[in-house]
Amino acid sequence: MNDESRVIEVSDLTVAYRDKPVLWDIDLDVPSGVLMAIVGPNGAGKTTLIKAILGLIRSAAGQVLIYGKPYSEQRRLVGYVPQRESVDWDFPTNVLDVVMMGRYGHLGWVRRPGQDERMLALEALDKVGMRPFADRQISQLSGGQQQRVFLARALAQDAQVYFMDEPFQGVDATTERAIVSLLQELRAAGKTVVVVHHDLQTVPEYFDWVTLLNVRRIASGPVNDVFTEENLRLAYGGRVAFLRGNGGSGAHENGPTPPETYDEPARFAQ
């Protein structure tokens, strides 16, 4: 299947940690130019799915194609925003330097970033409203600013497909709005964006495509078709209370555990 409109094709993807399957037989087709949310309860394997697609975690079985070819041949088309907490923000470096790391893949071995990379990084910082912070030491950033720096780094990658792991995690309202408008800009530019998300309420507002995940793929498709009470119940079990809105189907978590996913993939960090 070499359909041009299929940006991401995942087939039979299985990831196991010791004997326990974390992802089981996932099939996923993501068309071009959508904003897709991956939602599911804690430990559903949302982060693991992204990492397995990017080859950061070894999968037990399955195949991943980006624009019809294996990821290893398409790296330059892919941008990645890891979880903000995955790095030490006390590292001795500044904002511009971190964003320039987005160009390292294009630079290849040994070559140092120069004036071109600097310009691209500054442009990327402009897009997330962080240009005035270019020379700021990264330990002096707020959580929302850190997140925007990571987004700018991905923008500097100048990719066609973006994978973002919990970009809305613990950010202020300003940053949340900035990220949303950035996502919309990316979609307008024809990019495809996959976002691990856990605020069910904002799914219909922010995204047009959604994948519900709980170790297995529960459902995947346009938000209007797939983001239904039945599917949510399948993904979350009985832990979701549903708000019947007029027309739209919103829902919020009501479970005993807060909707956070820190604990889920920590042991896969390697």
Partner 1 sequence: MNLLDLLSSLFFDYTLRTVALGSATLGILSGALGTYAVLRKQSLLGDAISHAALPGIALAFLLTGSKAPLVLILGAVAAGWLGTLLVMSIVTTTRVKDDSALGIVLAVFFGFGLVLLTFIQKKPNAAQAGLDKFLFGQAAALLERDVVTMAGLGALVLVVVLIFWKEFKLLSFDPEFGASLGFPMRALDILLITLLVTAIVLGLQTVGVVLMSAMVVAPAAAARQWTDRLGVMVGLSALFGALAGVSGAVISSTTARLPTGPTIVLCITAIVAISITLAPNRGLVWRWVRHQRNRRRLRVEAVLGDLYALASQHDEPDHGHSIAVLRAMNRGRGGVTHSLEQLEERGWAHQVGPDEWALTPAGLAEAQRQFGRHREASA
Residues that bind partner 1 (CB under 8 A): 51, 54-56, 72, 75, 78, 80, 82, 86-88, 91-94, 98, 101, 104-105, 107, 109-113, 137, 139, 153, 269-270
Compute the least distance from the CB of residue 5 to partner 1, in Å.
24
Compute the least distance from the CB of residue 140 to partner 1, in Å.
9
Measure the CA–CA gap between 14 and 223, rounded to whole angstroms. Answer: 25
∠ CA 200-163-48, rounded to 5°: 75
- Give the distance from CA 177 to its chain's centroid: 16
DSSP state of 167: T
Q: Which is nearer to partner 1, 41 or 45 (CB)?
A: 45
Question: CB neighbours of 163 closer than 8 A, spacing ≥ 6?
Answer: 50, 53, 54, 78, 79, 80, 81, 194
Say which amino acid occupies 164: M
Compute the least distance from the CB of residue 194 to partner 1, in Å.
13
Q: Which is nearer to partner 1, 81 or 212 (CB)?
A: 81
Q: Which is nearer to partner 1, 84 or 253 (CB)?
A: 84
Q: Which is nearer to partner 1, 156 or 179 (CB)?
A: 156
Q: Which is nearer to partner 1, 107 or 180 (CB)?
A: 107
Q: How far is CA 114 from CA 17, 44, 95, 151, in A?
A: 42, 42, 16, 21
Compute the least distance from the CB of residue 21 to partner 1, in Å.
19
Record the tokens describing residue 184, joined without a space: 């919309």
In the three-class reduction of DSSP (H, G, I as helix; E, B as strand; rest coil), residue 135 is classed as coil
Q: Which is nearer to partner 1, 154 or 240 (CB)?
A: 154
Compute the least distance from the CB of residue 162 to partner 1, in Å.
11
Compute the least distance from the CB of residue 241 to partner 1, in Å.
30
Measure the CA–CA gap between 246 and 262, rounded to whole angstroms. Answer: 34
